[in-house]
Structure 1
């Protein structure tokens, strides 16, 4: 059986693969993330996922390596992780009462080659009061998440509706990923 490696330190991606009953190891990529200018959010997440997966795969060519990356985009602007409370507040105010898009790219490297794909999910936020934003920032959740929120935690109260794959917003489009892994012989341990 082929070994399966997750090229990510994300606890959310780890939890999703565990919930799906995969056996895998984790090796985080040390690659410096470089994005070409002028790419769409969909192209950015696929490129970053591919860089991470290829970096780990270059050291374990007998394995199947999964890399992933997620960005939040609002009005064609990519929102990264906030560096401080002010940035988190500004992002949450920007997203308040609006719909934005979450793009998650996936790259799978194996001896069969490299394949990439992405999922786009539209997320609509409720209109947030100053107190809503302050309370959420006090939770500490915004600081390691693109767009300053996580849908799977306390941040769920920000979200009015989604159109698309919930798991892609969490960090890995699980159903599509499982189908692609199955094609190259990586299946859940059942």
Structure 2
């Protein structure tokens, strides 16, 4: 777990975006354009920034939403030239909603799901969160690492969506040292957990 991708540069981009440094949306010049559709199924989360990384884009990515937003129940389609893209979806506060990597064909991204609740994790430590487990309390195992190949850098917040219930939560750094371990946490509405 020591070769995970990091996205600390999101913070830098976020500051630029809030300061008003938007970019014009890329216009494909080929009939082979890639259609990337973002569907917001959440009840409260608003997508304010869609940062793309790929061919012919700035080194640090471009916000192709410009002044648009993707509100609850809305969807937005990006038409991109052929290539492989990474996409970071952020709220206005620069909270990470989702990270999708290596998009190289038509793709639909769904945020949230009917009946699922957003839980926001904020990393208030000085190390990267490298592993995150969210497991029903009645389960005998922690299950899969919800971060996959990503991390949550210091000072960064990220959303995940889960069904209402009672959960055990374990966060570890890249050395698998425990940062937080919570048992029997009841999730009945949107929640915010600070890792410190």
Do they fold alike, i.e. is TM over 0.5? no
Which has the larger share of strand? 2
Q: TM-score, normalised by structure 2?
A: 0.24
Which has the larger share of helix? 1
